[in-house]
């Protein structure tokens, strides 16, 4: 099932990342990082929250913000790229955690980024966790 998450209010942060601004690259990264950290901090079951996009002036998608410092700036994984290209969610079991890649579209409906939401399973069903991941990704719109 295809779920479209449209980035309307979040466009201000994504616009900085994807199209650039007159600020420095550090300012852009810092703004996106603050959003990701704030959202992840509201959810105790989030193991990792990562935002992937193609920054201005670059041709490859990479991690533009993540609660995992080791992931920041790294190229996006194949499953993240597939989700960004196809608009299809990707769900992977990672030990005791579930990693859900949620594609996000801009106001024109073009897939421009993905949110990688890794959650502790904590006795919840796969369907509940995927729904939680979608809801967390949608907070990027708020």
- pLDDT, tens digit (0-9, with 9 covering 90-100), for 113-139: 999 999 999 899 999 999 999 999 999
Give a three-class secondary structure readout of 18-51.
HCCCCCCHHHHHHHHHHHHHHHHHCCCCEEEEEE
pTM assigned to the model = 0.81
Write the pLDDT tens digit of every residue in 40-61: 999 999 999 999 999 888 999 9
C-alpha angle 128/71/94, rounded to 5°?
Answer: 35
The pLDDT, as a whole number, for residue 44 is 94
- SS3 label, residue 15: helix
Q: Where are the alpha helices (DSSP H) in the chain?
A: 11-18, 25-41, 78-86, 126-138
Q: What percent of the chain has pLDDT over 90?
A: 67
> Given this model, what pLDDT does residue 10 score?
43
């Amino acid at each position: 099932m295809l779920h479209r998450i449209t980035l309307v209010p979040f466009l201000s942060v994504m616009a900085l990342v994807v199209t650039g601004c007159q600020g420095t690259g550090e300012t852009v990264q810092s703004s996106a990082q603050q959003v990701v950290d704030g959202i992840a901090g509201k959810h105790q079951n989030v193991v990792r929250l990562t935002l992937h996009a193609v920054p201005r002036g670059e041709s490859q998608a990479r991690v533009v913000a993540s609660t995992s410092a080791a992931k920041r700036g790294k190229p996006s994984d194949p499953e993240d790229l597939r989700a960004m290209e196809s608009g299809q969610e990707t769900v992977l079991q990672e030990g005791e955690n579930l990693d859900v890649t949620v594609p996000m579209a801009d106001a024109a409906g073009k897939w421009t980024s993905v949110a990688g939401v890794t959650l502790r399973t904590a006795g919840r069903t796969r369907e509940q966790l995927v729904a939680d991941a979608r809801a967390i990704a949608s907070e990027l719109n708020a």
